[in-house]
């Protein structure tokens, strides 16, 4: 009993630490507070509806217990989501970003937006902190679908951090089509080099027999498509695509896809 209680407190502490590490930049971003005030309930509902399956998938990959049981996996996801809600609400109250004299919809919207990165951080805490402990870490063989899923998580996390700010939209307004093409090529080069060519620990190294274009087609190009799709989704959630023409929306997506693609590549190294 004492051992179970100690493990619960330890996992909770790790989860809170991970939630703070991964969500604190957004918890201290004024644009995120404002977005919580006027975000459309339908878009928030869509975000939350898609986020919980994402947490379940992430729990299956790096849950607190590495259990093959789906009830345990779902419980870990609920636990991480709860930690995200509690951590976000506590910090926002201390920062006076929310107060009890605000409308309930404004409080709920502000906390909901912050809960996503906090929940992801709570689950990532296991993979980040277990290496510093004496606990054995069970490595799993990742399927191709799992690799692409992790890319999506990394793209969502980094894109979610940057999309609320005004700078991506300002950059997209100042760019021409040639600059956009150059940025796409740079994004692809960074993704491919970061994951495959640089040989960082955890990356997928190419064997001498594997042509460079094979990894480009199997991982880099699909990863960029995922990053671009996630970027467009996040821009829509935050209302950044409203009143934009098709060309302007594509330009904004390309700009945000640059950091999102870096997040997609980095996710495969740290998870």
Task: Tell me the pLDDT tens digit for each residue of 20-56.
Answer: 888 888 888 888 888 888 878 888 889 888 888 888 8
SS (H, E, C) the chain: CHHHHHHHHHHHHHHHHHHHHHHHHHHCCHHHHHHHHHCCHHHHHHHHHHHHHHHHHHHHHHCCCCCCCHHHHHHHHHHHHHHHHHHHHHHHHHCCCCCCCCCHHHHHHHHHHHHHHHHHHHHHHHHHHHHHCCCCCCCCCCCHHHHHHHHHHHHHHHHHHHCCCCHHHHHHHHCCHHHHHHHHHHHHHHHHHHHHHCCCCCCCCCCCCCCHHHHHHHHHHHHHHHHHHHHHHHHHHCCCCCCCCHHHHHHHHHHHHHHHHHHHHHHHHHC
Query: Residue 68 has what pLDDT?
Result: 63
Checking if the pLDDT of 200 tops 50, the result is no
| pLDDT in the model for residue 202 | 46
> Tell me: the pLDDT tens digits for 90-119?
999 999 988 888 888 888 888 988 888 898
**pLDDT value of residue 117:** 87
Per-residue pLDDT at 87: 93
- Selected residue with higher pLDDT from 203 and 88: 88
pTM of the model: 0.82
Q: pLDDT tens digits, residue range 225-260?
A: 999 999 999 999 988 899 899 999 999 999 999 999
Tell me what the pLDDT averaged over the chain comes to: 82
């Amino acid at each position: 009993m004492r051992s179970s209680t100690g493990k619960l407190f330890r996992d909770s502490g790790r989860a809170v630490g991970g939630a703070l590490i991964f969500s604190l930049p957004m918890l201290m971003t004024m644009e995120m507070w404002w977005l919580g005030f006027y975000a459309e309930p339908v878009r928030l509902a869509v975000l939350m509806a898609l986020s919980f399956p994402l947490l379940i998938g992430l729990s299956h990959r790096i849950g607190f217990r590495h259990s093959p049981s789906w009830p345990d996996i779902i419980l870990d996801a609920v636990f991480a989501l709860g930690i995200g809600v509690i951590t976000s609400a506590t910090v926002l109250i201390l920062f006076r970003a929310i107060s009890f004299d605000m409308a309930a919809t404004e409080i709920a919207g502000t906390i909901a937006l912050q809960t996503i990165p906090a929940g992801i951080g709570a689950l990532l805490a296991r993979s980040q902190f277990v290496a510093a402990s004496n606990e054995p870490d069970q490595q799993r063989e990742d399927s191709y679908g799992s690799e692409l899923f992790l890319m999506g998580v990394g793209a969502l996390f980094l894109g979610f951090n940057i999309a609320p700010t005004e700078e991506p939209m300002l950059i997209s307004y100042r760019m021409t089509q040639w600059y956009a093409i150059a940025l796409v090529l740079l994004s692809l080069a960074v993704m491919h080099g970061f994951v495959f060519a640089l040989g960082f620990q955890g990356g997928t190294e190419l064997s001498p027999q594997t042509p460079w274009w094979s990894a480009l087609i199997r991982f880099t190009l699909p990863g960029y498509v995922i990053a671009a799709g996630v970027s467009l989704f996040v821009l829509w959630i935050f209302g950044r695509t409203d009143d934009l023409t098709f060309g302007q929306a594509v330009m904004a997506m390309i700009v945000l896809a640059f950091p999102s693609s870096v997040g997609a590549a980095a996710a495969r190294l740290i998870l």
